[in-house]
Amino acid sequence: MPRFLVLLLTLALIAIAPAREPADGIVFCTYNVRNYLGDDQAAQPERRAKPKTPKELDSLIAVIRDVEPDILGVSEMGSEKMFADFKERLAKAGLEYPHSEWVQAGDPDRHIALVSKFPIVARDSRKKVSFTLNGKTEEMKRGILDVTVQVTPDYRLRCVGVHLKSKLPVPEGEALFRRHEAAKLREHLDGIFKETPDVNLLCYGDFNDTKNEPMFAEVSGAKGSAGHLADLWAKDSLGDRWTHYWRYADLYARIDFIFASKGVWAEVQRETASVYRSPYWAEASDHRPVFVTIVPVEKK
């Protein structure tokens, strides 16, 4: 069957599935949705990105509907208006997310955001995170998203999301800039673990670097320490692990990660850590979503 017919059938036949009970496991997903921007942003001459076409929007929502996450963290979300449009499209596809977070940081166009089927009971996002580089004060382009979700009356999950500096060149050096952002993220995480060492925490997002780069060591932290984060080594149905295709370099790489704290490790169903393979992934984004199932267990 032609791809466009598969997509149309997927969207036309969507029905709201029965709510998944947390005791059976919840799905957490991170996804760079690639330039979910509005006409107002793309109309500015210095902006290179264009708003998504209707076909791209349909493909994007279809990918998310296939994964059907309970909590979804996204990168490259546009304005608050576009975020509302995103949530409305998800709702029409049978995915209701009554709780959300959207972070306005240094990047005026692209934001990190999160939607959840469960209540957000604490918001600790950082809009302005600064550091010194080459004697100049710089800011994390997208800040740090940090929310605590009440999954069950007895179980909370803290979600810390980022979108680190892209590979587009900057005078300061994009790799060095990204490493400084990663260090500020680790500083934020250390503060969390100092206050609550056994916190159920997932750190996720588009890190724009592979695991052999300094970013990975900065974010994961020292092995054996209370604040160490373990990478969930996700793969797709064919065993491939790449999450992003960089067309300019013709390069496939794993740059989108989910890291888990020691506190949540027992609840993470590691065999479910997946990169979603879809026939229309490239129409939706240059990234593929990464997701995992968590079965909440009350701490004794």
pLDDT tens, position by position, 135-166 = 899 999 999 999 999 999 999 999 999 999 99
- Domain assignment of residue 76, given as a range: 25-294
297 — pLDDT class (breaks 50, 70, 90): confident
pTM of the model: 0.91
Share of the chain above pLDDT 70, in %: 90
Which of 11-15, 35-39, 129-133, 265-269 has the highest mean predicted lDDT (pLDDT)? 265-269
Q: Is residue 20 part of a domain?
A: no
Report the pLDDT value the prediction gives residue 46, as an integer from 0 to 100: 52
Q: Is residue 256 part of a domain?
A: yes
Phi then psi for residue 70, to 5 deg, are -85, -35
How far apart, in whole angstroms, are the C-alpha atoms of residue 198 and residue 192? 10
Q: What is the number of domains present in the chain?
A: 1
pLDDT tens, position by position, 196-244 = 999 999 999 999 999 999 999 999 999 989 899 999 999 999 999 999 9
Q: Is residue 281 part of a domain?
A: yes
Q: Is residue 212 part of a domain?
A: yes
Q: Is residue 11 part of a domain?
A: no
Q: What is the CATH number of the domain that holds 121?
A: 3.60.10.10
* Contact yes or no for 147/126 (Cβ under 8 A): no
State CA 243 to chain mean position distance: 12
Q: Is residue 13 part of a domain?
A: no
Report the pLDDT value the prediction gives residue 177, as an integer from 0 to 100: 94
Which is higher by pLDDT, 7 or 285?
Answer: 285
| First-last CA distance in the chain | 52
Report the pLDDT value the prediction gives residue 300, as an integer from 0 to 100: 60
pLDDT tens, position by position, 61-77 = 999 999 999 999 999 99
How far apart, in whole angstroms, are the C-alpha atoms of residue 197 and residue 230? 15
CA-based max dimension of the chain: 58
Res 21 pLDDT > 80: no
Q: Is residue 179 part of a domain?
A: yes
Q: Is residue 18 part of a domain?
A: no
